[in-house]
Amino acid sequence: MLDKTKYHIPEHVAIIMDGNGRWAKKRALPRSVGHKFGAQNFRKITRYISKTGVKVLTLYAFSTENWKRPLEEVNALMGLFKQYLIDSLTDFREDDIKVVFIGDRSAFDPKLIELINESEEVAKDRKGMLLNIAMNYGSRDEILRAVKQLCNEAKNGEIDPEKITEQDISSRLYTANLPDPDLIIRTGGEFRLSNFLLYQSAYSEFYSTETLWPDFHEEDFDNAIIEFNKRNRRFGGV
Ligand code: IPE
Ligand code: IPE
Ligand code: MG
């Protein structure tokens, strides 16, 4: 466990959990097996991170573009979401983790929607880390919704277009009540956001590691925090 007196722990960490498919391929296994190990790792690492002092953890689980994958893979992922959401309901109670979801949940099957709503409901009074799961999430979709909402409010005379502020945009995003991410970690070695938190990441520190998601363990998270502590965040100042 990281020495909290030595390192500044970011308030909000977001993780792009990438590399499940490659992890499976390396072992000549179907991609769905990689997702299964990835889902197991999700539970383990979330519980660890909740003990480090991080206040908000956002995990990118399924993007608005991931529907393009073969039906078999999408179905395997949906099955795992159901399985692991049910399990995490009990698992996360012990750690006092509050669970919320961002993204368009209406596209999921009714059983999964029910589980999502239920996992938010049972955890709503918890006081520990906020776990924010991005599912059927896409930043462009999120921004588009905010724009439509603002246009409707303007049309109805509820808001003056000339007076719209950056805060008015933020407060209409899925992440309305959350601080911007301080650190975005991507596993699997790519250096891109893949439609994740585009508006919110204006001043986030980006950390990419070659480690594939199912292999991303406690010490890998610690390394990301150590690297974050070396960054000089200027926010445009000096
Ligand atoms: C991330 O792993 C999980 C999801 C996108 C759901 P990938 O499935 O993208 O794994 P790679 O990138 O193909 O290795
Ligand atoms: C980003 O990974 C989405 C998630 C991790 C959920 P992708 O594997 O979908 O991203 P690309 O296709 O490599 O950009
Ligand atoms: Mg990928």
Chunk the chain into consecutive blocks of 10 residues (it has 238) and report each block's average pLDDT, rounded to whole numbers: 89 98 98 97 96 97 98 98 88 94 98 96 96 98 98 98 98 97 98 98 98 98 98 97
Picking from 50, 106, 114, the residue whose alpha carbon sits closest to that of residue 85 is: 114
Residue 91's pLDDT is: 85
Q: Please indicate whether residue 20, judged by its CB atom, sits closer than 6 Å to ligand 1.
A: yes
Picking from 58, 68, 63, 74, the residue whose alpha carbon sits closest to that of residue 15 is: 58
Residue 236's pLDDT is: 97
Type of residue numbered 30: P
Q: pTM of the predicted model, to two decimals?
A: 0.98
CA of 196 to the centre of ligand 1 (A): 14
Q: Please indicate whether residue 138, judged by its CB atom, sits closer than 6 Å to ligand 1.
A: no
Residue nearest to atom 6 of ligand 1 (CA): 62
The side-by-side arrangement of strands in the sheet containing 98-102 is 98-102, 130-137, 56-63, 12-16, 183-186, 205-208
Using most ligand atoms within 8 A of CB, pick from 66, 80, 139, 187 the residue to mutate for ligand 2: 66
Angstrom distance (rounded) from CA 86 to CA 82: 6
Residue 89's pLDDT is: 83
Here the tokens at position 95 are 């750690």
Residue 116's pLDDT is: 96
| Cα–Cα separations (whole angstroms), residue 66 to 28, 60, 135, 167 | 22, 11, 10, 30
CA of 125 to the centre of ligand 2 (A): 32
